[in-house]
Chain A
Amino acid sequence: MKSIIQLVVNGESVEIAVEPNRTLLQLLREDLGLTGTKHGCGLGDCGACTVILDGSPVNACLVLAVQARGRQVLTIEGLAENGNLHPIQKAFVDKGAIQCGFCTPGMILSAKALLDTNPKPSETEIRTAISGNLCRCTGYQKIVEAVQEAAEVIQSTEVS
């Protein structure tokens, strides 16, 4: 039986009827058309479906839509402001941390969750933070560099 849930997605309140067996990933991609969140393995292994739920990164493929009732969800679509890329997004582009791009939304959200709580992470902390996000193209090095650069940019813009 469908139930009506209300949640906040990228700052906007959404009200929608969902079946209990619908995942948050399906809700985002299929009902709201937010296809930036990717469907990889569906089993929690790859991190392509990473979104930030009430401040913490989670695998949207392992969260029921009904479990997100009343909660705040941030997807990759919610990062840019007034058409300007978020510093992490910009650093990924500048550093060449994107090849096919399938892992990128998840990587960026894991990086954002890290920098929100730990603005000056060590390389190890960065690698741990993205350890649930698999990338089959880049070999991770450029991704790590992009997160380091983004951390510096965010720091310097906050100081000035």
Chain B
Amino acid sequence: MLLPKFEYHEPTTLEEALHLLSELGGNAKVLAGGTDLLVRMKLNIDKPTHVISIARIPGLDAIVPRDKHGVTVGAGVSAAALSRHELMMDRFTPLALAAGRLGAPMIRNRATIGGNLVNGRPAADLSPACMVLNAKVKLKSATAEKEVSVNEFFRGPGDTAIEPNELMVSINVETPAPWSGGSYIKLGARKTLEISMVNVAALLTLKSADGPIADARIAFGAVAPTPVRAYGAEEFLVGKEPSDEVFQQAGEIGVGLCSPITDHRGTMEYRCMMIEVLTKRALKQALERAKSWKP
């Protein structure tokens, strides 16, 4: 498996990287962990004439808490770092759990959150997790900067809102309200190295430890051309007392919002059944964590 020829750039500042991107645009590809790009280049799917590594730009690999209000995750933070980070596990649970399920240990050591989101794969692990956290991605070009909600970032398989001259710099997440708990469930045929057949992220916020549901967020991966939020199921849950029955009903509503396909990983019917079951299970796990929320 040989890599085709390309010109290599290794900017050491953000400005330099943005300048290169604005100059080279469509002929260039950003290289983060390379676990997707290098595979696609070896398979001749991507054929950039320039490759811009962002690994030596300081700060892109940092997880920076913002007081108690939220966290800024650099686009170059690895899945391994996300999965091991105490604050991420504690407050941003779906993302830490999803990062721990991405690929195998060696892949997690290289794979970045930025690469995972920019890839825009329907089955990507970090996308649904970022969606239930209402994360915003910061996109920068040499001349402009914008923030886009991940809920509006994905357009189709491999297609996202980022422009060729833009770099994803960071992912910003607000800390979920008190009495929140999150979960992430990935279903594949094997335990590791598995692109999901169905994945579900959930975040549940209660009014108090035994209170009704104040807020619910559910997102699915691998069930439609993009990862999707199950807004209908979320609205159904708000204001209700949490119970197996309402979680079951939320799962049933969730199935109706998906358009899964049949492929070698699983049939449409099987995926629909799994969406229902896994939604219920994810909500139950989120509820347990919400009940044991600590200031």
Evaluate contact between A129 and B34: CB separation under 8 angstroms: no
Evaluate contact between A129 and B55: CB separation under 8 angstroms: no
Interface centre among B7, B43, B105, B191 (most CB of A within 10 A): B105
Looking at the assembled complex, report how far the CB atom of B98 sits from the nearest CB atom of chain A, in whole angstroms. 16
Within 8 A of B (CB), among A100-120: 110, 113
Separation of A72 and B114 alpha carbons in the complex (Å): 25
Instruction: Pick 19 A–B contacts, CB within 8 A, sort by A.
Output: A22-B3, A23-B3, A23-B38, A43-B1, A43-B43, A44-B39, A44-B103, A45-B193, A53-B109, A56-B80, A58-B106, A62-B110, A63-B110, A64-B31, A64-B38, A67-B31, A128-B105, A131-B104, A132-B105
Interface centre among A20, A22, A53, A56 (most CB of B within 10 A): A20
Given A41-B1, A132-B106: A62 and B193 within 8 A (CB)?
no
Within 8 A of B (CB), among A40-54: 41-45, 47, 50, 53
Evaluate contact between A64 and B34: CB separation under 8 angstroms: yes
Evaluate contact between B105 and A43: CB separation under 8 angstroms: no
Separation of A53 and B6 alpha carbons in the complex (Å): 24
Question: 0/1 per residue, B1-24, Cβ < 8 Å to A?
Answer: 111111110100000000000000
- Which of A's residues lie within 8 Å of B, judged by CB? 1, 3, 19-23, 41-45, 47, 50, 53, 56-59, 61-64, 66-67, 110, 113, 128-129, 131-133
Evaluate contact between B109 and A58: CB separation under 8 angstroms: yes
Given A21-B5, A21-B6, A61-B1: A132 and B110 within 8 A (CB)?
no
- Which of B's residues lie within 8 Å of A, judged by CB? 1-8, 10, 31, 34-35, 38-39, 42-43, 51, 53, 55, 80, 103-107, 109-110, 191-193
Interface centre among B51, B55, B110 (most CB of A within 10 A): B110
Separation of A155 and B42 alpha carbons in the complex (Å): 42
Interface centre among B53, B191, B193 (most CB of A within 10 A): B193
Evaluate contact between B34 and A57: CB separation under 8 angstroms: no
Evaluate contact between A132 and B1: CB separation under 8 angstroms: no
What residue of chain B has the Cβ atom nearest to residue A21's Cβ? B3
Contact of B107 among A3, A20, A23, A44 (CB under 8 A): A44
Given contact pairs A62-B34, A62-B35, a sample of 5 additional A-B residue pairs in the complex whose CB atoms are under 8 Å apart = A21-B5, A41-B1, A43-B1, A67-B31, A131-B104
Separation of A47 and B35 alpha carbons in the complex (Å): 13
What residue of chain A has the Cβ atom nearest to residue B37's Cβ? A62
Chain A residues whose CB sits within 8 angstroms of the CB of B110 once the complex forms: 58-59, 62-63
Chain A residues whose CB sits within 8 angstroms of the CB of B31 once the complex forms: 64, 67
Separation of A44 and B80 alpha carbons in the complex (Å): 16
Chain A residues whose CB sits within 8 angstroms of the CB of B39 once the complex forms: 43-44, 62
Evaluate contact between A132 and B192: CB separation under 8 angstroms: yes
